[in-house]
Homo-oligomer: A and B are copies of this chain.
Amino acid sequence: MGKSSEIVKEHLSYSDGFISAQSLHHVITKSKTKIGLTTVYRALQKMVDSGEVDTFRNPEGEAEYRLCTPNHHHHLVCTNCGFTVEIDGGAIESWASSAAVKNGFSSISHIADIYGLCRQCA
């Protein structure tokens, strides 16, 4: 694993919450570091495989990534303007694990996001 993976992970840690591979690539190249989009994708995929990074697809079809951290949270997203609020998972976490255990599933992860219109856009 070369230096690039380190750079990707570092920038991932700067970003709060999820970020897409494309955005991450933008951020990195804008910062000063030269890096290929392919390399960003490959670094992210490796970290997903190793369990260091969580991923899910947003409604636009882009994959979003974040470092796995203990302070796991979810998103409330305005479908009109994109305004996003981070919210606590609350009961979700236990719902997910109990549903999984009940059905014999293991190594679980979950996605849970809420979409709606924010006050401005309603």
Which residues of A does B touch, CB under 8 Å? 55-61, 63, 76, 78, 85, 87, 90-92, 95-96, 99-100, 103-119, 122
Contact = CB atoms under 8 A, between A and B. Distances in A.
A95 B48 CA distance: 27
A91 B97 CA distance: 13
B87 A99 contact: yes
Contacts of A122: 104-107
Q: How many copies does the complex hold?
A: 2
Contacts of A99: 76, 87, 90, 114
Contacts of A106: 116-117, 122
A119 B91 contact: no
A115 B109 contact: yes
Contact of A114 (B63, B91, B110): B110
Contacts of A95: 90-92
